[in-house]
Amino acid sequence: MLNNSARALLFLLVVFMLSSSASVAAEYVVTISPEYQSIRMDQTAEYKLTVRNNMGTTENFEIYSSDVMWDVTTRPVSDRLLTVEPYSTRTTTILLTPLYVNPGLYGVTLNVRLSGKNMLIKNYLMVGVTDINPPPEEYLPAIRSDIIMDDVIDPRENLTIKLEIENQNRRTIPEMDIRLRSNAINADYKTGLGPLEKKMVAITTRIDPLTRPQSDVLRVTILTQAANRTYQYEATPFEFEIMNYGELVEDIVSTKSFLKTTTVVTLTNVGNGDIIEVYKMQKGFFERIFTSSEPASKKVKENGTKYLGWPVSLGPYEKETITVVVNYRIPFSILCIIIAAIVLYYLLRSPILIHKSATVLATKEGGISDLKVLIVVKNRTPASVKSVSIIDKVPHIADVLREFEMGTLHPTKVLKHEKKGTLIKWELKELERFEERVLAYKIKSRLSVLGQFRLPVVVVRYESATGRMRSTHSNAVTLVGA
């Protein structure tokens, strides 16, 4: 028998209970040191907690524990809400004081939550607790245990939990109580250990098959008696999930009418767990454009295929109805309107195209003085147009030069008005199909034009196929003097 204090023995025990105290998340990292402490029941354990903020904004981190058997606080107390600058690190002190515990080894849960967001990192403060006045020369119980089980369990099936237990002293432990506790698991087991014995215990239990899917934590506590005292040892808590085994059943009814298909999908959760998923329906690209639904869908892409998706959240035996309507009536109507508009456009559009342009021939004192005006008239249809009159106006500040170029059609009339300006008119008996005529004349300004000089539009009158007189206009021309 070694003549060491119980504190030293528990120190050796905790060495085997080490687990990683650094929890890493993409947003922040939590580190605790030392990884274990050994104290008497009247003492307080101290840990250094460091939070690394990997985000680009200042964040607050809530530090707390829900374990009522311990007094867990920070020093200073204000660090319970720890503010950490972007990409920075802050360290605070965690104080852990036993309240209602027996001598033994414990894993106390410490939570670090990102304030305002659903992000939580759980840590376990490993601490060994000895009696205030331990027996000076006696092997105290020293038990190490590890939990081995699936991290996802089906509540409909038997659950087997394996517990690896090791007696780390040469003392025989004739009897110890093993308690397995979580939100869903409640089981007890008794066994014993010989000196330095290590064995695997398989505990089979069942949970209520109607247990709701959830995240759970299994805590295993081992209790044993020695020297008229109860000693308690805890395994590192084991986090696991209770799976959702609900099944989504669909009932599809479709009705068709002219260019319209209505599909009613009734989704029913026939299981006993919540179902949260996206119900998908595949539609082609063209079909998706003309699909509406109640509730509204969203686009979902999976394995390179695009779907219409609806978020579904159903409790046991709940139903949800989705109505999907593929309606081609509106695009069909729009297409008919477009076709009718095109037909009307070609029926009613002017067969004559006319374009007016002007070129500065001379300037005087920095302003425009002489211009050449060019008018292009074209029949854009395969039918001839009769009785074509082209009428142009020249502002009263300019005079028309009666020198017309060879090869261009000369005007039939040039009428001058002192206030309204000069009227120029060309007349054609017929403009043959696809025929193009070029009209040109020159004007001379009485004054040097500085700034803008605007020439009015050309008006073309012609006889339509129905014998009625119609007209069309050219563009206006604006010139800018120096």
Listed ranges 154-163, 204-213, 342-351; the one with the highest mean pLDDT: 154-163
Return the pLDDT at 286. Answer: 85
The lowest-confidence range among 175-179, 213-217, 314-318, 460-464 is 314-318
Q: What is the CATH number of the domain that holds 364?
A: 2.60.40.1530
* 90 in a structural domain: yes
pLDDT for residue 180 is more than 70: yes
C-alpha separations of 29 from 43, 51, 267 in Å: 29, 6, 42
Within this chain, do residues 383 and 310 fall inside the same structural domain, yes or no? no
Within this chain, do residues 198 and 237 fall inside the same structural domain, yes or no? yes
Q: Which domain holds residue 23?
A: 6-130
pLDDT for residue 61 is more than 90: yes
Within this chain, do residues 385 and 450 fall inside the same structural domain, yes or no? yes
Q: What is the CATH number of the domain that holds 320?
A: 2.60.40
Return the pLDDT at 481. Answer: 66
Within this chain, do residues 11 and 123 fall inside the same structural domain, yes or no? yes
Structure tokens at 169: 């002293």
User: In which band, very low, low, confident or very high, does the pLDDT at 423 lie, cut at 50, 70 and 90?
Assistant: very high
Pairing of strands 59-64, 104-114: antiparallel
Domain end (from 109, 130, 151)? 130
Within this chain, do residues 178 and 237 fall inside the same structural domain, yes or no? yes
C-alpha separations of 137 from 116, 142, 233, 400 in Å: 53, 15, 21, 132
Return the pLDDT at 118. Answer: 83
Return the pLDDT at 225. Answer: 87
How far apart CA 142 and CA 216 sit, in angstroms, is 28
* 415 in a structural domain: yes
Specify the residue for token string 């101290």.
46
How far apart CA 298 and CA 311 sit, in angstroms, is 9
Within this chain, do residues 303 and 376 fall inside the same structural domain, yes or no? no
Domain end (from 218, 242, 266)? 242
Q: What percent of the chain has pLDDT over 90?
A: 54
User: In which band, very low, low, confident or very high, does the pLDDT at 462 lie, cut at 50, 70 and 90?
Assistant: very high
Mean pLDDT in residue range 29-41 = 90
* 1 in a structural domain: no
Structure tokens at 8: 């030293």
Q: What mean pLDDT value characterizes the chain?
A: 86
Return the pLDDT at 1. Answer: 33
Task: Tell me the pLDDT tens digit for each residue of 122-169.
Answer: 898 988 888 777 655 556 678 889 999 999 999 889 999 999 999 988
pTM of the model: 0.42
End-to-end CA distance of the chain: 115
Q: What is the CATH number of the domain that holds 208?
A: 2.60.40.10
Within this chain, do residues 199 and 293 fall inside the same structural domain, yes or no? no
Return the pLDDT at 193. Answer: 92
Return the pLDDT at 417. Answer: 80
Spatial contact of 148 and 180, defined as CB atoms under 8 Å apart: no
* 366 in a structural domain: yes
Return the pLDDT at 139. Answer: 61
Return the pLDDT at 366. Answer: 72
* 136 in a structural domain: no
* 116 in a structural domain: yes
Mean pLDDT in residue range 76-100 = 94
Return the pLDDT at 7. Answer: 42
Return the pLDDT at 136. Answer: 52
Within this chain, do residues 359 and 469 fall inside the same structural domain, yes or no? yes
C-alpha separations of 83 from 86, 272, 421 in Å: 10, 42, 83
Domain end (from 242, 273, 303)? 242
The lowest-confidence range among 41-55, 300-314, 336-350, 356-370 is 356-370
Return the pLDDT at 183. Answer: 92
Number of domains composing the chain: 4
Q: Could you tell me which residue, 390 or 132, shows the higher pLDDT?
A: 390
pLDDT for residue 383 is more than 50: yes
* 337 in a structural domain: no
Within this chain, do residues 20 and 84 fall inside the same structural domain, yes or no? yes
How far apart CA 48 and CA 343 sit, in angstroms, is 83
Within this chain, do residues 116 and 14 fall inside the same structural domain, yes or no? yes
User: In which band, very low, low, confident or very high, does the pLDDT at 482 lie, cut at 50, 70 and 90?
Assistant: low
Within this chain, do residues 358 and 419 fall inside the same structural domain, yes or no? yes
Return the pLDDT at 349. Answer: 85
Within this chain, do residues 206 and 165 fall inside the same structural domain, yes or no? yes
* 427 in a structural domain: yes
Specify the residue for token string 């009015």.
456
How far apart CA 192 and CA 333 sit, in angstroms, is 85
